[in-house]
Amino acid sequence: AHLDRIGEVDGAVHAFLHVDAEGALAAARRVDDDVAAGREVGPLAGVPLALKDVFTTEGVPTTCGSKILEGWVPPYDATVTRRLKEAGVVILGKTNMDEFAMGSSTENSAYGPTRNPWDTDRIPGGSGGGSAAALAAFEAPLAIGTDTGGSIRQPGSVTGTVGVKPTYGGVSRYGLVAFSSSLDQAGPCARTVLDAALLHEVVAGHDPLDSTSIDAPVPPVVAAARQGANGDLSGVRVGVVSQFSGEGYQPGVLHSFEAAVAQLKQLGAEVVEVSCPSFDYALPAYYLIAPSEASSNLARFDAMRYGLRVGDDATRSAEEVMSLTREAGFGPEVKRRIMIGTYALSSGYYDAYYGSAQKVRTLISREFDKAFATVDVLVSPTTPTTAFRIGERTGDPMAMYKADLCTIPANLAGNAAMSVPSGLSDEDGLPVGLQIMAPALQDHRMYRVAAAYE
């Protein structure tokens, strides 16, 4: 049924870069066989899922939305891919994304943008717009995204779906093509909080193949989502981050946020205001740290190892082939980030740029710690605006970057954060998201609040 639905609507939505109908049907049949043979299957066995094209999938193309990886077929599965398969989850295909996860609209995909199913003239968010659009268009009930600065939560917000960035290190990065290794985090996308929790528990957990994977029990997110469903938040302390409002926020988004806070109070939560002044510097710090790490990570696309190779006609040096390939294979935003990152890391500038950004990062972590000493979770709008129009921000990188104003602090500090649907804007009738943030390894706290709110 989901493959049929993809056939009907994906021409207009373009959530998928690759549909693996054969693989999906074979996986579904294996679950049928297990059930027929009386073998025990997990809670998500047989449930279809859309996988962001940033995860390696054995025998299935993986492009990261880039021409430089066109035609590359990975010889191995990412840990996330492997865990999904072991759980009997049916992977329908690979979803569209901004090239190497750099963007907030999927317009940076080398394969054309994804469209928001609520209004196909608008963006579905990014970089994981394909995964979020697949959920909103009912092409898949579950999806996986990655979030370096907001790429799970912001698409969730603008498509009216649930998107979760688990605690950094909670889900393995092995086989996840690296953008900014100290920020990248894979996580679940779904249409309900409980669905996200069930998927979270399938993909999370320690992995010896990822040196930053946390060796601790997975936070009990399914139990928390079930507990939250009773709608009782008495005893829960919620902090409203005062930095996330005012200029640049659409009135419709702020109205929805005020209504959300009122509802949390009604459910019994105690709400206080919390000030985190360094959060104002999160965006500039991120746009030094993320490009710095990207400039190093993307050096592996050297025309020798993967995919595209341009100008290799035995007259050119390896350096020339490398240069021609990178010139042709990377899009403008990726080139911009490589240049910013190379500059920020260069001798003489390192302390002023990269070094200062790392100090801001420490201040942000401390402000989170201080806030979480008095509240259980923090809340804010997920993103300052509803879905903008395709093309509206492509000429203005700063306007594009501002979509992640509220989401980036959690990446810099490594704590857990999610977006849950918060109704429709009274301005334009488009979906709005509520962001809920929790301390590292306390992911279950935000699931409880989200399930009660939902």
Whether residue 165 lies in the annotated active site = no
Torsional sign, CA 344, 407, 144, 105? negative
State yes or no: residue 150 binds ligand GLN (CB under 6 A).
yes
Our CB check for ligand GLN shows the closer of 102 and 240 to be: 102
Contact in structure between 381 and 253 (CB atoms under 8 Å): yes
Please give the Cα distance from 320 to 428 (Å, whole number): 51
Among 57, 114, 151, 157, binds ligand GLN (CB under 6 A): 151
Shortest reach from residue 340's CB to ligand GLN, in Å: 11
Among 57, 114, 127, 161, binds ligand GLN (CB under 6 A): 127
The single residue of 52, 104, 105, 380 carrying the catalytic annotation is: 52
Count Cα neighbours of 52 within 13 Å in the Cβ-side half-sphere: 34
Helix, strand, or coil (residue 433): strand
Helix, strand, or coil (residue 438): strand
The single residue of 66, 105, 151, 172 carrying the catalytic annotation is: 151
Our CB check for ligand GLN shows the closer of 141 and 150 to be: 150
Shortest reach from residue 12's CB to ligand GLN, in Å: 24
Whether residue 52 lies in the annotated active site = yes
State yes or no: residue 383 binds ligand GLN (CB under 6 A).
no
Per-residue contact flags (x/-) with ligand GLN for residues 89 to 118, judged by CB under 6 A: ------------xxxx--------------
Per-residue contact flags (x/-) with ligand GLN for residues 236 to 275, judged by CB under 6 A: ----------------------------------------
| Interacting residues with ligand GLN between 163 and 222 (CB under 6 A) | 179
State yes or no: residue 145 binds ligand GLN (CB under 6 A).
no
State yes or no: residue 149 binds ligand GLN (CB under 6 A).
yes
Please give the Cα distance from 366 to 357 (Å, whole number): 14
Helices (H) and strands (E) in the chain, counts: 15, 11
Whether residue 127 lies in the annotated active site = yes
Q: Give CB contacts under 8 A, 24+ apart, made by 32-40.
A: 34/88
Residue 191 buriedness (CB in 10 A; 0-12 / 13-18 / 19+): buried
Please give the Cα distance from 158 to 383 (Å, whole number): 8
Strand order in the sheet with 377-381: 16-19, 90-95, 48-52, 142-146, 186-190, 162-165, 416-424, 431-438, 377-381, 237-241, 270-274
The single residue of 105, 109, 127, 256 carrying the catalytic annotation is: 127
Report the catalytic residues.
52, 127, 151
Site residues (vs ligand GLN, CB under 6 A): 101-104, 127, 147-151, 179, 290, 404
